[in-house]
Structure 1
Amino acid sequence: MTRSRLTPEREAELYNAVLDLLREVGYDALTMDAVAARTRSSKATLYRQWGSKPELVAMSLRHSKPVDISQIDTGSLRGDFHEMVAQSDDCQMERDTALVRGLSRAVHENDDLLQALRELFIEPEITGLDTMLQRAIARGEIAADNPALKYLSHMLVGAFVAHPLINDEPMTQDFLRDYLDAVMLPALGLPAPGV
């Protein structure tokens, strides 16, 4: 699918509009007509560039990621995790949590959305996390056969879903850093800070 007709600035504008609409009305009520109206573009352009609503939503989420986590390399896994958290502020985390909450039901009811999110958003994130973990294994920080390795992405997603549900407050950098230090790093065999 060719996206060369749009400038990066215009593409970013479209992606931001899609995410704003998702937060405002949710996935089910989001329409290509609404995106076209919000961005002063034609529905034909949207379909030509992205093919479908699920792909446009997934690409919008992918574009909203501030950094490719596979590129984070501070020399330690704890440093990499903390740098990953530092790439987003509390306001952005709150907005991301609202998006995850809004999409969670839609994913269960829409196979096309689930497939698009897996291919365009989730798999690249898991690949980036795997790259980060492989570097930690190569440095000797963690064991390659640690059984927790295959559950790290589940643990991260679980934190984003469970924290607002259990604590009735949005995700924050402080909570996520503490969660990484207290739960994820010890699960990988690394001591918590100060231990």
Structure 2
Amino acid sequence: MTYWGIGEALDQCRSWCRQDLRISIAVNISARCLHDARFLGVVRDALGASGLKPDCIEFEITESAIMLEPERSRAMLQEFRSLGITQSIDDFGTGFTSLSYLKDLPIDKVKIDRSFVTNMLRNDRDAILVRSTIDLAHNMGYQVIAEGVEDENTWAALENLGCDVIQGYYVARPMTASALEEWIGRSQWQMVANF
């Protein structure tokens, strides 16, 4: 499925480039692909065939996928980085990433899991985890994305904490590519363009 997803993502990016829309697509990378030596060649070939810059796609990898084989994961992430692909740790806070591994991972972004974000205004411990994660990630040079933002108060709290990007129903619900194109034209939100 991930192999197919990369081809589809690149096809969509190519279509958006022809329309002068500067949108990157995030692709979830499974643990199986992350630890499959052939996957790197597939990615390299697909990027080469697409004619696109590598920053038109972003790889999202969960903590649990990384921690299945930490050393192998780190090596593969380094290979992706050498291709110029932006990478993020998805669902951060739900896995068991040791800080010693986090400091050495060649990633660009940390996505705070929605389970902390949605409860941060009602649960002091979740608020502490969100604030601490934002501080830690920024101090390590990573951009921070908060998942699961569903209301204005949560957005305002995250903005006050210095969160870089929000994701969730408060911004928009999942939509098709054509619906996204229309939404961009009428949206109040600033789109984050990576390329």
TM-score of Structure 1 vs Structure 2, range by shorter chain: under 0.3
Q: What TM-score, normalized to structure 2?
A: 0.27
Give the structure with the larger helix fraction: 1
Q: What TM-score, normalized to structure 1?
A: 0.27
Task: Between the two structures, name the one with larger relative contact order (CA 8 Å, sep ≥ 6).
Answer: 1
Give the structure with the larger strand fraction: 2
Q: Which has the larger radius of gyration?
A: 1
